[in-house]
């Protein structure tokens, strides 16, 4: 009798436990959905803020003057808000960074994927990715205190603050992103494809350039586009090493200002709320948002368009 009572209690406890588990299982999807909704609402809130303040800016400054103006003098008596000096500074620094990051990053990825042994790959790849964890302000001081004096000894006309030095250092900072993502794409190519090409008499270099890279091209190009987005959005390096000259020029030895550096300058200044200078902050931020959004959409399109599934 006592044994039967114990079994009933065990069944009762088991049912209570199962009931609690069922309730918990029903709650988990709702909790995850709530978290996802919070993320979406946060994004909508940021976009709404940008849009409202940007519209307020364009009520005071003509749309055409903003996107075609070559003079940016937000603090003068006759204030001008042409964004082209910021656009050229951003694009030139990005091009310089890509000239450094893409060839070095791609060659590093090829070595890690096709030539390095497993032991070397397991050692070098984490070390390479440590570069991605260094704060950007450290890169900024590195560009200003080391790279710029070094370049000035080679290029006498280089100004103390210029766009060349931060562009190069940004490229160094982005190398791990290009190398890691490209190496992942190459490593996903089936080994059978490499072995088949080698069996037909191809050299290792031919296998790399004619088999592996074409098969992994979607991931490689996507890593390039993401790296460009990273360079466009970089702030501290250009703020420290490039200065704040709002020149509309293509001379890389001169000081230029990027969109992110302008946002930092205006945010840290004394722009009164509700002024045109204050609203210009959001107009530049919206332009920067549009650039990075386009880059990300291009990366997604390329990944889907050229994706190879094995």
Find the mean pLDDT for residues 14-18.
Answer: 70
Choice between 130 and 185, residue whose per-residue pLDDT is larger: 185
Find the mean pLDDT for residues 183-203.
Answer: 88
Q: Chain-centre distance of CA 240, in angstroms?
A: 19
Find the mean pLDDT for residues 240-268.
Answer: 86
State residue 111's pLDDT score: 93
Q: What is the rounded distance in angstroms from the CA atom of residue 252 to the CA atom of residue 191?
A: 44
State residue 78's pLDDT score: 79
With a cut of 70, say whether residue 113 has pLDDT above it: yes
Find the mean pLDDT for residues 250-272.
Answer: 84
Instruction: Give the residue among 43, 75, 38 at the shortest CA–CA distance from 272.
Output: 75
State residue 308's pLDDT score: 66
Eight-class DSSP state of 82: -
State residue 168's pLDDT score: 94
Spell out the residues 6+ positions from residue 158 whose beta carbon is closer than 8 angstroms to its own: 148, 151, 152, 164, 165, 253
Judge whether 180 and 128 are in contact, CB under 8 Å.
yes
With a cut of 70, say whether residue 4 has pLDDT above it: no
Choice between 41 and 242, residue whose per-residue pLDDT is larger: 41
3-state secondary structure 249-299: CCCCCCCCCCHHHHHHHHHHCCCCCCCHHHHHHHHHHHHHHHHHHHHHHHH
User: What's the pTM value of the predicted model, to 2 decimals?
Assistant: 0.81
What mean pLDDT, rounded, does the chain reach?
Answer: 86
With a cut of 70, say whether residue 186 has pLDDT above it: yes
State residue 148's pLDDT score: 92
State residue 305's pLDDT score: 75
Distances (CA, A) of 97 to 86, 166, 228, 232, 267: 16, 8, 8, 10, 26
Find the mean pLDDT for residues 240-262.
Answer: 87
Residues in the chain: 310
With a cut of 90, say whether residue 105 has pLDDT above it: yes
């Amino acid at each position: 009798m006592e044994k039967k009572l114990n079994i009933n209690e065990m069944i009762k406890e088991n049912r209570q436990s199962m009931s609690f588990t069922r309730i918990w299982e029903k709650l988990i999807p709702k909790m995850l959905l709530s978290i996802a909704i919070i993320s979406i609402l946060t994004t909508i809130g940021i976009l709404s803020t940008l849009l409202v303040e940007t519209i307020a800016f364009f009520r005071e400054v003509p749309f055409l003057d903003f996107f075609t103006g070559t003079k940016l003098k937000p603090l003068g008596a006759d204030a001008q808000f042409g964004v082209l000096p910021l656009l050229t500074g951003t694009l030139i620094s990005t091009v310089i960074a890509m000239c450094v990051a893409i060839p070095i990053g791609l060659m590093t990825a090829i070595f890690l994927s096709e030539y390095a042994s497993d032991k070397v790959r397991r050692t070098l790849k984490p070390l390479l990715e440590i570069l991605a964890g260094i704060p950007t302000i450290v890169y900024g001081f590195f560009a200003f205190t080391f790279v710029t004096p070094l370049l000035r000894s080679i290029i006498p006309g280089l100004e103390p603050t210029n766009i060349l030095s931060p562009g190069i250092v940004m490229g160094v900072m982005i190398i791990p992103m290009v190398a890691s993502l490209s190496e992942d794409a190459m490593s996903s190519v089936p080994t059978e494809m490499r072995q088949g090409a080698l069996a037909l008499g191809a050299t290792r270099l031919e296998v790399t350039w004619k088999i592996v890279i074409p098969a992994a091209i979607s991931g490689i190009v996507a890593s390039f586009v993401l790296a460009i987005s990273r360079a466009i959005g970089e702030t501290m390096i250009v703020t420290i090493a490039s200065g704040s000259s709002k020149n509309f020029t293509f001379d890389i030895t001169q000081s230029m200002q990027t969109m992110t550096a302008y946002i930092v300058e205006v945010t840290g200044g004394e722009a009164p709320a509700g002024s045109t200078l204050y609203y210009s902050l959001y107009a530049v931020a919206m332009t920067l948002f549009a650039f990075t959004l386009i880059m990300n959409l291009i990366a997604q399109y390329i990944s889907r368009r050229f994706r190879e599934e094995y």
